[in-house]
């Protein structure tokens, strides 16, 4: 029996019917008239930064702020790269942001974002830090209460963010060619490619599956150096992890590097028995080549040690996700597995013995000695200083992907402290796979696919020939292209024409088009995606004044966003909202907005 570890939280948010408003958003002329009045009266100015793809949200938010006494400037950037450049330069008061909790646990919804030094916020608040740490160890009603305290501090007490809505997932499939039953739509994890099949299975070996991604500029193909939408799906399919998430956020060994996993009774030690039928693959002459190098326990130790070490790579984006890991070791004594009691009762050895090709007769430390069929296994042990069962969710994140110790060490020969991006080439740099004179593909993939090359138009992937061959986990399709199309309407048009086979995110306003096309199939699921307005933490008036931020906060009417999206959004309070119902709610309140705005003016 395959075990599924899941954290159960009281009051998980469910999809609710949205209230459609009878009115509509103000017209541009209405807004411009009010804006002129604000300018003449010396009202505070707010610069909203966003991408062209989110222009509707920017317009709605602008209308709401203008109506509540602000002058508003829109800073609309054409793509994610230019948006990030503007954000990094601090050219905004409010940045339209979004976050999807791809690990399925609430700690991830806040730790990497809002804890001091987080990836997307420079906010340093000891109260917020303390609440994040306290909540991470709790479940059930206690977790709900602690996350409510966190939301109160994050949103209502300090207004570090202003929530807009929770999204649902709408996936479009060109079912004339692709079998929709093989295309998964998980709540949290990135799309899994290895299970997808054409209707005519004979095409799996010869035809190219064309997928879609809006962002063409890739942060890094080193799984620990990026944590954004440009690489999450790509790295998830290039690097195998110790565990995976099911479509409903359960942690399982299915389709991962571990055949089975177990935790100790005190939830401080976690054991993983490894499979021996996955090798690293590399690229030679445009093809994937089996390196013959087993994805082993030594590579797991190397990968996770560097994942939790802030100084292991320059510009490390994901270390906070893995900071609760204390040690990563290879078990060298089967006696330990017999002596330690598992969280299920019985021994760890008993807990690890489901679905093995042969009973564990010996644990080995050297990959050369591994032979699962003969009962010789490698077992990895991860410990945490304190009980922290959410560590399993983090191991399912793309940053938990297993890289080759030999290859990464061979490529990253520079000194991290003095790293110069103008001359030093780090493992996973997109320039090494980009077509042109600098092409020098360094990638070694442990997952089902490897990127062969990319350009501004698409990224090309081929199947890893050494990924669990002959098993149910072997990838079905040999060739995959990820087409970069930023504009949603253009992407939908490409889907309808069969130019792409899966559109992972169908705009809510276009659902009827997909449903009305006989060549397409629409899939729907809940998601952990939250859109919010992030305030600039430094260098602007909103950085210094909580009153000014709260005036913006209480100007936001989520019902107007839900109405625009035809009821296909849900209300949010924070990035935790899809995972835990804290009982808190943001209600638009023009009087409060005016009160806080006046308090800000009086403080000047």
Q: What pLDDT digit, counting tens, does each position of 324-372 carry?
A: 999 999 999 999 999 999 999 999 999 999 889 999 999 999 999 999 9
Residue 382 tokens, joined: 């991860």
Assess contact for 287 and 281: CB atoms under 8 A.
no
Looking at residue 28, what is its pLDDT?
Answer: 38
Q: Identify the CA nearest to 460 among candidates 439, 474, 446.
A: 439
Integer Cα distance of 263 and 348 in angstroms: 7
Residue 273 tokens, joined: 């028995």
| Residues 518-545: b if buried by 16+ CB within 10 A, e if exposed | eebbbbeebbbbbbbbbbbeeebebbeb
Q: Identify the CA nearest to 151 among candidates 553, 559, 583, 561.
A: 583
3-class DSSP assignment, residue 482? strand
User: 6 pLDDT exceeds 70?
Assistant: no
* Domains, the chain: 11-168+527-603 (3.40.190.10), 175-463 (3.90.76.10)
Q: Name the β-bridge partners of 270.
A: 263, 382
Integer Cα distance of 480 and 459 in angstroms: 8
Integer Cα distance of 95 and 77 in angstroms: 11
Looking at residue 122, what is its pLDDT?
Answer: 57
User: Tens of pLDDT along 104-147?
Assistant: 999 989 987 888 866 555 557 889 999 998 998 887 899 899 99
Angle between helix 55-67 and helix 28-40 axes, rounded to 10 deg: 50
What's the gap between Cα 43 and its chain centre? 38
Integer Cα distance of 395 and 244 in angstroms: 8
Q: Name the β-bridge partners of 94.
A: 48, 535
Looking at residue 355, what is its pLDDT?
Answer: 85
pLDDT level of residue 226 (50, 70, 90 thresholds): confident
Find the DSSP H helices in 309-378: 334-339, 348-351
Kindly state the average pLDDT of the residues 6-22: 32
Residue 97 tokens, joined: 């942001």
User: Tens of pLDDT along 61-113?
Assistant: 999 999 999 999 999 999 888 999 999 999 999 999 999 898 899 998 998 78
Give the pairing type, strands 244-245 and 569-570.
unpaired
User: Tens of pLDDT along 376-422?
Assistant: 999 999 999 988 888 999 999 999 999 999 999 999 999 999 999 88
Kindly state the average pLDDT of the residues 279-295: 97
The CA-based angle 123-127-131, given to 5 degrees, is 105
Place of tokens 């560097």: 306
Q: Identify the CA nearest to 201 among candidates 182, 188, 186.
A: 182
User: Tens of pLDDT along 482-533?
Assistant: 999 998 899 999 999 999 999 999 988 899 999 999 999 999 999 999 999 9
Looking at residue 139, what is its pLDDT?
Answer: 77
User: 11 pLDDT exceeds 70?
Assistant: no
Q: Name the β-bridge partners of 437.
A: none
- Backbone phi, then psi, for 375, in 5-degree steps? 85, 15
User: Tens of pLDDT along 546-581?
Assistant: 999 999 999 999 999 999 998 999 999 999 999 999
Assess contact for 395 and 303: CB atoms under 8 A.
no
Structure letter (DSSP) for residue 7: -
**139, burial (CB in 10 Å: exposed 0-12, middle 13-18, buried 19+):** middle
pLDDT level of residue 228 (50, 70, 90 thresholds): confident
């Amino acid at each position: 029996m395959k075990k599924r570890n899941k954290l159960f939280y009281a009051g998980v948010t469910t999809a609710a019917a949205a209230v459609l408003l009878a009115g509509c958003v103000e017209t541009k002329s209405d807004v411009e008239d009010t804006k002129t009045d604000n300018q003449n009266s010396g009202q505070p100015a707010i610069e909203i930064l966003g991408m062209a793809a989110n222009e509707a949200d920017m317009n709605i938010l602008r209308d709401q702020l203008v109506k509540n006494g602000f002058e508003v400037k829109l800073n609309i950037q054409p793509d994610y790269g230019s948006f990030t450049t503007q954000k990094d330069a601090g050219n905004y008061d409010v940045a339209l942001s979004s976050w999807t909790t791809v690990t399925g646990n609430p700690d991830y919804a806040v730790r990497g974002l809002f804890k001091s030094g987080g990836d997307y916020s420079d906010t340093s608040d000891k109260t917020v830090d303390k609440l994040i740490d306290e909540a991470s160890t709790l479940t059930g009603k206690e977790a709900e209460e602690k996350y409510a305290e966190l939301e109160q501090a994050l949103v209502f007490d300090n207004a570090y963010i202003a929530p807009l809505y929770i999204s649902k997932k709408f996936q479009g499939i060109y079912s004339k060619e692709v079998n929709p039953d093989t295309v998964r739509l998980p709540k949290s994890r990135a799309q899994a490619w290895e299970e997808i099949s054409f209707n005519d299975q004979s095409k799996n070996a010869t035809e190219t599956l064309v997928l879609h991604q809006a962002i063409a500029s890739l942060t890094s193909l080193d799984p620990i150096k990026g944590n954004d939408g440009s690489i999450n799906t790509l790295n998830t399919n290039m690097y195998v992890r110790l565990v995976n998430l099911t479509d409903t956020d359960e942690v399982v060994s299915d389709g991962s590097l571990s055949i089975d996993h177990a935790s100790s009774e005190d939830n401080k030690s976690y054991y993983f028995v490894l499979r021996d039928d996955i090798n690293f693959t590399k690229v030679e002459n445009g093809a994937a080549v089996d390196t013959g190098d087993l994805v082993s326990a030594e590579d797991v130790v190397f990968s996770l040690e560097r994942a939790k070490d802030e100084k292991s790579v320059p510009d490390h984006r994901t270390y906070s996700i893995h900071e609760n890991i204390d040690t990563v070791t290879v078990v060298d004594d089967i006696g330990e597995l017999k002596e330690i009691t598992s969280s299920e009762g019985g021994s760890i050895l008993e807990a690890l013995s489901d679905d093995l090709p042969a009973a564990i007769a010996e644990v080995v430390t050297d990959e050369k000695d591994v032979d699962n069929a003969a009962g010789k296994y490698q077992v990895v042990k991860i410990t945490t200083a304190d009980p922290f069962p959410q560590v399993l969710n983090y191991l399912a994140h793309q940053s938990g992907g297993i890289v080759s110790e030999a290859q990464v060490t061979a490529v990253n020969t520079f000194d991290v402290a003095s790293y110069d991006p103008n001359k030093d080439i780090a493992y996973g740099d997109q320039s090494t796979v980009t077509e042109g004179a600098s092409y020098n593909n360094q990638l070694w993939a442990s997952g089902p696919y490897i990127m062969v090359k990319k350009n501004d138009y698409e990224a090309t992937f081929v199947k890893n020939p050494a990924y669990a061959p002959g098993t149910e986990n072997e990838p079905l399709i040999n060739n995959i292209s990820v087409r970069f199309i930023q504009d949603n309407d253009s992407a939908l048009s490409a889907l309808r024409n069969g130019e792409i086979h899966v559109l992972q995110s169908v705009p809510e306003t276009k659902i009827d088009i997909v449903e009305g096309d006989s060549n397409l199939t629409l899939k729907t699921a809940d998601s952990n995606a939250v859109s919010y307005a992030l305030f600039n933490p430094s260098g602007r008036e909103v950085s210094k004044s909580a009153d000014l931020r709260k005036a913006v906060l209480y100007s936001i009417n989520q019902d107007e966003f839900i109405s625009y999206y035809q009821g296909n959004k849900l209300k949010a309070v924070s990035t935790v909202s899809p995972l835990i119902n804290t009982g808190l709610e943001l209600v638009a309140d023009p009087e409060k907005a005016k009160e806080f705005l006046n308090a800000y003016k009086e403080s000047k």
